[in-house]
Amino acid sequence: MSHNLRSGLYETSPLYQNAVMDLEMAGKTMGLSSNVLDRLKMPKKAMCVSIPVRMDDGSVKTFEGYRVQHSTTLGPGKGGIRFHPEVNLSEVSALAMLMTMKCSLVGLPLGGAKGGIRVDPSQLSRAEQQALTRRFTMEIISMIGPEQDIPAPDVGTDGQHMAWMMDTYSMAKGHAVPGVVTGKPMEIGGSAGRPESTGRGVVYVIEHAIELLKKQNKADFKLNQCTAAVHGFGKVGTVAADELAMRGCKVVAVSDFFGGIYDKNGLDLKDVNAYMSKNRTLKGYPKAEAITNEQLIGLNVDILVPAAIDGVITRENMKNVKAKIISEGANGPITSEAQQYLESQGVYIIPDILANAGGVIVSYFEWVQGLQQFFWNEKEVNEKLAEIMARAFHRVAGNAEKFNCGMKTAALITSVERLSQAMLLRGLFP
Ligand code: NAD
């Protein structure tokens, strides 16, 4: 019987509550022992830090930051660092849990972790962001390391932030330690194909889904005849949109924090990307119709890629969704309730821990290449990525059939099968 003695510290966010609900559903479907289930519901370790930063105007502002390790059963913790005004301990803990599930699902020797700072990075200068990143790294230095816990970029951070983290850690250790982070620029040990990996993976699994639906006589799509909308035109969304367009799919809408743009004939993504690079937003893009993020979610398209943040498709708007396939580029973009509703309506949802696993897979490649000091070219990286994504997709689809459940539950079952075996083999200390 499952006990319920937790303090509630971790459980305040809808993302955490959804993650636990999804886990319980998977546990029930696969008959998981409550000993294991209870351990997986709570992170292994969490650190809350305050980060004072001298701003450009001479004042000092203090920010709150977190690093959470959900599980290190399979290997060092692995997970991104998020800079976003909504970051809190509960959300970071939920994201760390998703990382554990993701790494286990795709068979990596890594655990799950996440970190973040409650900040709107667009309000900070480059110098302020550097100071924030460096002080944060020092505050969490006892928790991170190539054999302990390896951060990466997430919402609001990129290769530059990872370079600052790597440099700060290396200064403290007295020698260069490139393996402390992944998602680094190529010049300091990053991997070819890492920036594009998540968006690519999001599209690889759409291709597998289309093949599978045809094989099962459930639907007969051709990607080059499909339309798509991408919510969140950041590191994941831009690449997913490009990869879809490269395969002949018509990307009719994309959006960012401020809203979206729509062209029923398909957007000229090269032009949109150029506008975005110059203006750092899609707002005001002159060659397409302006729409809201909510309108984008409800567009009549074949494929929807939510690639911004969590909690985007909920009870409030789930009935507006018309897409037939959703590939979750973001972590937790669909609440448990909305997911169950959409699956009951025949929408094929490729869950986050599978769909966006490309990033952590190539992060793993980066870590391996760094340890060996032997680097692969982009073609090799992409081939290895495609192979792992394909294997994971088919294992999840196999479990969906075996347990007669949706892909989300099947993905969690696939990952918990491996993880629980590892937990049982390692046993409980002391
Ligand atoms: P990013 O910061 O590069 O891009 C995020 C995009 O979403 C931006 O266009 C931003 O304007 C938009 N956005 C933010 N809040 C929004 C809102 N409320 N409504 C609409 N749009 C909003 O971040 P990213 O790295 O592309 O990450 C996006 C998602 O993918 C996150 O959930 C992240 O955890 C997940 N993810 C990222 C990676 C990776 O490799 N970067 C890997 C796995 C999962």
CATH of residue 301: 3.40.50.720
**In this structure, are residues 14 and 315 in contact, taking their beta carbons and an 8 Å threshold?**
no
Atom of ligand 1 nearest to the CA of 359: 40
Domain C-terminal end among 355, 383, 415 = 355
Q: Are strands 303-306 and 348-350 parallel, antiparallel or unpaired?
A: unpaired
Residues 237 and 268 in one domain: yes
Does position 4 have pLDDT exceeding 90, yes or no?
no
Give residue 71's domain range: 2-178
Predicted confidence (pLDDT) per residue in 240-255, tens digit: 999 999 999 999 999 9
In this structure, which amino acid lies at residue 198?
Answer: T
Residues 170 and 263 in one domain: no
Does position 7 have pLDDT exceeding 90, yes or no?
no
Q: Is residue 152 part of a domain?
A: yes
Residues 155 and 10 in one domain: yes
Residue whose CA is closest, atom 16 of ligand 1?
Answer: 257
- What CATH number should be reported for the domain holding residue 47? 3.40.50.10860
Among 309, 326, 354, 365, name the best residue to mutate to test ligand 1's pocket (greatest count of ligand atoms within 8 A of Cβ).
309
Domain C-terminal end among 355, 370, 387 = 355
Residues 19 and 137 in one domain: yes
Q: What DSSP designation does 8 have?
A: S
Q: Which of 41, 102, 114, 324 is catalytic?
A: 114
**In this structure, are residues 224 and 230 in contact, taking their beta carbons and an 8 Å threshold?**
no
In this structure, which amino acid lies at residue 274?
Answer: A
Number of domains forming the structure of the chain: 2
Query: 404 CA to middle of ligand 1, Å?
Result: 32
Q: Is residue 186 part of a domain?
A: no
Q: Is residue 259 part of a domain?
A: yes
Give ligand 1 pocket residues (Cβ under 6 A).
153-156, 198, 232-237, 255-257, 293, 307-309, 329-331, 356, 359
In this structure, which amino acid lies at residue 317?
Answer: N
Residue in this structure with the two tokens 């696969």, named with its chain if needed: 30
Q: CA 413 to CA 396: how far, in whole Å? A: 8
Q: CA 280 to CA 234: how far, in whole Å? A: 10
Q: Could you please report the per-residue DSSP string of 66-130?
A: EEEEEE-SSSSEEEEEEEETT--HHHHHHHHHHHHHHHHHTT-S--EEEEEEE--GGGS-HHHHH
Q: Is residue 114 part of a domain?
A: yes
Give me the mean pLDDT over the 403-423 stretch. Answer: 97
Q: Is residue 424 part of a domain?
A: no
Predicted confidence (pLDDT) per residue in 358-369, tens digit: 999 999 999 999
What are 283's two structure tokens? 């707002």
pTM: predicted TM-score of the whole model, two decimal places? 0.95
Q: Is 114 annotated as catalytic?
A: yes
Residues 67 and 108 in one domain: yes
Q: Are strands 45-54 and 60-71 parallel, antiparallel or unpaired?
A: antiparallel
Q: Is residue 406 part of a domain?
A: no
Atom of ligand 1 nearest to the CA of 333: 32
In this structure, which amino acid lies at residue 36?
Answer: V
Residues 172 and 217 in one domain: no
Q: CA 35 to CA 28: how far, in whole Å? A: 13
Distance of CA 101 to the CA centre of its chain: 11
Predicted confidence (pLDDT) per residue in 47-102, tens digit: 999 999 999 999 999 999 999 999 999 999 999 999 999 999 999 999 999 999 99
Q: CA 66 to CA 80: how far, in whole Å? A: 11
Query: 173 CA to middle of ligand 1, Å?
Result: 32
Predicted confidence (pLDDT) per residue in 277-301, tens digit: 999 999 999 999 999 999 999 999 9
Q: What DSSP designation does 245 have?
A: H
Q: What is the pLDDT of residue 371?
A: 85
Does position 322 have pLDDT exceeding 80, yes or no?
yes
Residues 158 and 292 in one domain: no
Place 1 in a pLDDT band, splitting at 50, 70 and 90.
very low
Residues 286 and 248 in one domain: yes
Q: What is the pLDDT of residue 221?
A: 86
What are 198's two structure tokens? 């998540």
**In this structure, are residues 325 and 347 in contact, taking their beta carbons and an 8 Å threshold?**
yes
Give me the mean pLDDT over the 307-332 stretch. Answer: 97
Q: Is residue 17 part of a domain?
A: yes
Residue in this structure with the two tokens 């490009």, named with its chain if needed: 242
Domain C-terminal end among 329, 355, 381 = 355
Which residue, among 191, 193, 146, has the nearest Cα to 173 in the 3D structure? 146
Q: Is residue 394 part of a domain?
A: no
Q: What is the pLDDT of residue 276?
A: 97
Residues 46 and 170 in one domain: yes
Q: Could you please report the per-residue DSSP string of 353-392?
A: HHHTTHHHHHHHHHHHHHHHT----HHHHHHHHHHHHHHH
Residues 21 and 162 in one domain: yes
Residues 51 and 115 in one domain: yes
Among 198, 255, 277, 385, name the best residue to mutate to test ligand 1's pocket (greatest count of ligand atoms within 8 A of Cβ).
198
Say how many CA atoms lie within 13 Å of 237 toward its Cβ: 27
Residue whose CA is closest, atom 8 of ligand 1?
Answer: 234
Residues 37 and 95 in one domain: yes
- How many Cβ atoms from other residues are within 10 Å of residue 389's Cβ? 25
Among 91, 181, 256, name the best residue to mutate to test ligand 1's pocket (greatest count of ligand atoms within 8 A of Cβ).
256
- How many Cβ atoms from other residues are within 10 Å of residue 194's Cβ? 27
Query: 234 CA to middle of ligand 1, Å?
Result: 6
Query: 95 CA to middle of ligand 1, Å?
Result: 13
Query: 236 CA to middle of ligand 1, Å?
Result: 7
Bridge partners for 62 per DSSP: 52
Query: 331 CA to middle of ligand 1, Å?
Result: 9
Residue whose CA is closest, atom 13 of ligand 1?
Answer: 257
